[in-house]
Structure 1
C-alpha cells in the first residue's frame, strides 16, 4: 500500500473502516486496529493488575474483533460492540482465575445521581517539577485504588469514566439494570474520593 492510500485510510471515519473491514479489506482492518488498540489496552490496564495479562487480553480482544467483525450488523454501534468484546474477555479472565464477581445490595439513595467525580480530574499541564512528581504519584494512587475495587465496581467505573458509556449501555453490556450500575459507580467514586482526599482537598 503506497503512502497516498495510507493517508486515505487515516482520513476514513471509524464507521467507514468497519464497513470496509467487513468486506475483507485488510488495509482498513489494519487502520481500525491502530485506531482502537490504545483504548483497548487502557481498558485492560485498569481492569487487570497483571502486566502480562494486560498484553494478552489486549491482543486477544483485537483478534476477536478482527475475526468477528462481520457479525456486527450496525457499524455505527462498533464502539459498544467492542466494549462487549472487552467485557466478555474480562469475565472469562476472572473465571479462569477462579474468582467471582462481587455484588453489593442496592441502596435506593445510591440510585440517585451524585456529584460526578472523574478519575481524569487530575491537573497535568504546565506543571513544575514538584507538581509533575505529585501528578505521577496521583496517577499511581488512582491506579492502585481502581485495582482494589471489587471486580464489578471496577468494570463499571472503567466503562463509565474511560470509555464514556452511558448507564444504559453499561447495564446492557454487564447484563444488569441501570440502578445496579449507578450504585456500583457511586460506590466506586466514593472509594476513589476517599483514597484521593488528602490530594484534592
Structure 2
C-alpha cells in the first residue's frame, strides 16, 4: 500500500489581479458584485474616465463656475446605479449619458438662456463641410480680429442650435463619439442621430457662410 499523499493547496492560490491591469469591462463587473461597488475598482474607473466626463461638461457648460461639482455628481450617480448597467462594454457611453442628462437637468432647473458652449481650439465639422482652421502667413491685427470674430460667431451659432441638435453635434464633433454611442446616450434611433447631425452641420454652415466665402 502506498501512503496517501495530501497537499496544502492554500499555498497555490492565485493572487488577485491588480485593478490597474483589469479592463474597463472587468472593473465594471467587479463593481456590480456584492452589496456595494468595489471601492478599488470604482476608483480605477474614475481615474481612467475622469477626463472624458470633464471634457463633456466643459463643452456643454464652459461658463459654469461649479463644473467640478457637476463632475463629482456624475460619479456619485454612476456609483449608485452601476449595477443597472446591463452591458459593461458600454460603460463609457453610459457615463456620457449620465453627464449629458445631469447638465440638462441643471439647465432646466436654472432656466438659463445664455450661451453655454465654448470652443477653445480650431475644429472641423464633418470631413470637408466646414474648415474651422484659418490658414494665413504672418497674421496682422486685422486678421486676428477677423479670426476672433469668426470663433465668436461660431460659438453663438452652436449655442443657438436647438438642444437636441446641439447635444448631438457636441458629442460627435467635439468628443468624437460614434453615431451608435450618441444614439445610446440620447435615446434616439441611429437614423435620427445622423439626421440631427446633418441638419446641425447645415445650419452652422449657413450661419457661417459669410466668413467661409471670405
Compute the TM-score of the two structures, normalised by the length of structure 2: 0.62
Q: Give the structure with the higher percent helix.
A: 1
Moved more, 75-84 or 164-173: 164-173
> Where in structure 2 are there 5+ consecutive unaligned residues?
1-16, 114-124
Q: How does 1:176-195 map to 2 (within 5 A)?
A: 176-193=188-205, 195=208
Q: How does 1:58-137 map to 2 (within 5 A)?
A: 58-98=71-111, 116=127
Moved more, 139-148 or 28-37: 139-148
Relative to structure 1, the CA distance from residue 19 to residue 182 in structure 2 (aligned partners, 3 Å threshold; closer, same or farther) is same
Give the aligned partner of residue 44 of structure 1: 57
List per-residue Cα deviations over 1:167-201 (Å, max 9, x = no partner).
Answer: 34433432334443223212332344554984898
Please provide the CA RMSD for this pair: 3.9
Which protein shows a greater Rg? 2
Give the aligned partner of residue 21 of structure 1: 31
Take 2:79 and 2:106, find their aligned partners in 1: how far apart are those partners? 20
Q: Which one scores higher on RCO, CA 8 angstroms, separation ≥ 6?
A: 1
Relative to structure 1, the CA distance from residue 26 to residue 199 in structure 2 (aligned partners, 3 Å threshold; closer, same or farther) is farther
Moved more, 64-73 or 174-183: 174-183
Take 2:131 and 2:42, find their aligned partners in 1: how far apart are those partners? 30
Give the aligned partner of residue 31 of structure 1: 44
List per-residue Cα deviations over 1:49-70 (Å, max 9, x = no partner).
Answer: 4332422221111111112112
Relative to structure 1, the CA distance from residue 144 to residue 59 in structure 2 (aligned partners, 3 Å threshold; closer, same or farther) is farther
**Out of 10, 33, 45, which is 2:20 matched to?**
10
Aligned positions, number: 177
> Where in structure 1 are there 5+ consecutive unaligned residues?
1-6, 101-113
Q: Aligned to 2:65, what secondary structure does the other structure show?
A: helix
Take 1:161 and 1:68, find their aligned partners in 2: how far apart are those partners? 28
